[in-house]
Amino acid sequence: MTRPVEIFEVGPRDGLQNEPQVIPLAAKLALVDCLSRAGFRRIECASFVSPRWVPQMADSDRVLAGIARAPGVSYAALTANMRGLEAARAAGADEVAIFASASEGFSRANINASIAESLERFAPVAKAAHEAGLPLRGYVSCAVECPFEGAVAPAAAARVADALADLGCYEISLADTIGRARPEAVAAMLEAVLQGLPADRLAGHFHDTAGQALANVEVALDLGLRVFDAAAGGLGGCPYAPGAAGNLATEALAARLADLGYETGLDAAVLAEAADMARALRLRREAT
Ligand code: HMG
Ligand code: MG
């Protein structure tokens, strides 16, 4: 009997957005193309947000125009507002994501709005995505820990997850944005969210600052989640979350899932190649 788990690759967006040096377009395209060959079904590779806030993603339209699109792969884009949604559509994103926070402090730092204001801002985005036939995903940032406020109440994460589901998000990704959540706290958050939403509409997005991300994945697996976000080479962090280190490395997650008897359908050799490419981008930064 197969036990499928999907890894949603977010490295070309959540990984690269945090890199301070300009990454050449060709390097981004090569990374996405390699990831496409590795067998992912969804790859987040673009972000239509303010280039003043996140300069690294300013060439997202050119990324979407330049990649070799593999059949059956959905190339996803983060969208901050209506302007971002229109740009994502024009650039040919296959799906879009909106992102709200479970903590007020991070909401303000990341998108310059309260949680309520951000949900209001996303309502027309969700409606337009729906009308355009674009699948809409949602993120709940700081679902467990906030860099400004510390522990986040599970009920706060559940409220925002419900709100994103009400806006029509087909899947809600629950993020430990700063990678400091303990498995017990992740379990408490997931149990609260699961009171309102079924496990098959949820994904786990665990950064790995404290080395707990794999343990957090296992807790989430036990609670029925079967989709996890990760970034090849463990690239990443969030520019507006002080102390946030890399995302969970896709190759480490794929290996752990295989050990646990789950099938991701990924080609480990091609994935290793993508991880090397991603790490080379970081080494390039450290060398300068
Ligand atoms: P603002 O400064 O409050 O509002 O930004 P604004 O409307 O005045 O916009 C500021 C500037 O951005 C203006 O340009 C706008 O024209 C421009 P200026 O007049 O200063 O030259 N602008 C845009 N440009 C291009 N595309 C757009 C766009 N929108 C505005 N779509 C805003 C508000 C939301 C725009 C800003 O705060 C923003 O872009 N924030 C995004 C921050 C971000 O991308 N963070 C990282 C991604 S979230 C994340 O990593 C977490 C996640 O991985 C899950 C997890 O781990 O938690 C998803
Ligand atoms: Mg993230």
- Ligand that lies nearest to the alpha carbon of residue 110, given by its number in the listed order: 1
pLDDT averaged over the chain? 95
Q: Is the pLDDT assigned to residue 238 strictly greater than 80?
A: no
The pair of structure tokens assigned to 43 is: 């790859």
- Ligand that lies nearest to the alpha carbon of residue 76, given by its number in the listed order: 1
Q: Which residues participate in catalysis according to the annotation? A: 238
More confident residue, 244 or 135: 135
| 110 close to 150: Cβ distance less than 8 angstroms | no
Q: What is the ipTM of this complex?
A: 0.97
Q: Is the pLDDT assigned to residue 125 strictly greater than 80?
A: yes
| 136 close to 130: Cβ distance less than 8 angstroms | yes
The pair of structure tokens assigned to 231 is: 């970034």
Ordered by where they begin, the domains of the chain are 6-281 (3.20.20.70)
Residue 2's pLDDT band (boundaries 50, 70, 90)?
A: confident
Cα 79 to ligand 2 centre (Å) = 14
Q: How far is the C-alpha of 232 from the C-alpha of 276, rounded, in Å?
A: 8
pLDDT digits (tens, 9 = 90+) for 200-230: 999 999 999 999 999 999 999 999 999 999 9
Mean pLDDT of 120-127: 98
pTM of the model: 0.97
Query: Which residues have C-beta atoms less than 6 Å from ligand 1?
Result: 14, 17, 47-54, 78, 80-81, 83-84, 87, 99, 110-112, 139, 141, 175, 177, 205, 238-240
**Ligand 1, atom 33: nearest CA belongs to which residue?**
111
pLDDT digits (tens, 9 = 90+) for 57-70: 999 999 999 999 99
- Give the model's pLDDT for residue 288: 46
Which region holds residue 228: left if phi is over 0, alpha if psi is between -120 and 50, else beta? Answer: beta
The pair of structure tokens assigned to 61 is: 């339209």
Mean pLDDT of 263-282: 95
Cα 162 to ligand 1 centre (Å) = 23
Which residue reads 């969030």 in tokens? 238
| 175 close to 208: Cβ distance less than 8 angstroms | no
Q: How far is the C-alpha of 114 from the C-alpha of 204, rounded, in Å?
A: 23
- Give the model's pLDDT for residue 117: 98
- Using a 10 angstrom Cβ sphere, with 0-12 exposed, 13-18 middle and 19 or more buried, the burial of residue 71 is exposed
Q: Is the pLDDT assigned to residue 282 strictly greater than 60?
A: yes
The rounded percent of the chain whose pLDDT value lies above 70 is: 96
Q: Using only C-alpha atoms, what is the Rg of the chain?
A: 17
Cα 145 to ligand 2 centre (Å) = 13
Atom of ligand 1 nearest to the CA of 143: 57
Mean pLDDT of 111-129: 98
Residue 240's pLDDT band (boundaries 50, 70, 90)?
A: confident
- Give the model's pLDDT for residue 244: 65
Which residue reads 């690294």 in tokens? 56
Residue 287's pLDDT band (boundaries 50, 70, 90)?
A: low
Residue 236's pLDDT band (boundaries 50, 70, 90)?
A: confident
**Three-state DSSP string of the chain:** CCCECEEEECHHHHHHHHCCCCCCHHHHHHHHHHHHHHCCCEEEEEEECCCCCCHHHCCHHHHHHHCCCCCCCEEEEEECCHHHHHHHHHHCCCEEEEEEECCHHHHHHHHCCCHHHHHHHHHHHHHHHHHCCCCEEEEEECCCEECCCEECCHHHHHHHHHHHHHCCCCEEEEEECCCCCCHHHHHHHHHHHHCCCCHHHEEEEEECCCCCHHHHHHHHHHCCCCEEEEEHHHCCCCCCCCCCCCECEHHHHHHHHHHCCCECCCCHHHHHHHHHHHHHHHHHHHHC
**Ligand 1, atom 56: nearest CA belongs to which residue?**
177
Which of 76, 14, 72 lies closest to 278, judged by CA? 14
The rounded percent of the chain whose pLDDT value lies above 90 is: 90
More confident residue, 19 or 47: 47
Buried b (16+ CB within 10 A) or exposed e, 100-137: bbbbbebbbbbbebebeebbebbeebbebbeeeebbbb
What is the distance, to the nearest Å, from the Cα of residue 228 to the centroid of all Cα atoms in its chain?
9
Mean pLDDT of 157-181: 97
Mean pLDDT of 174-187: 97
**Residue 261 CB neighbours (<10 A):** 10
Cα 269 to ligand 2 centre (Å) = 25
Which residue reads 């991880």 in tokens? 275
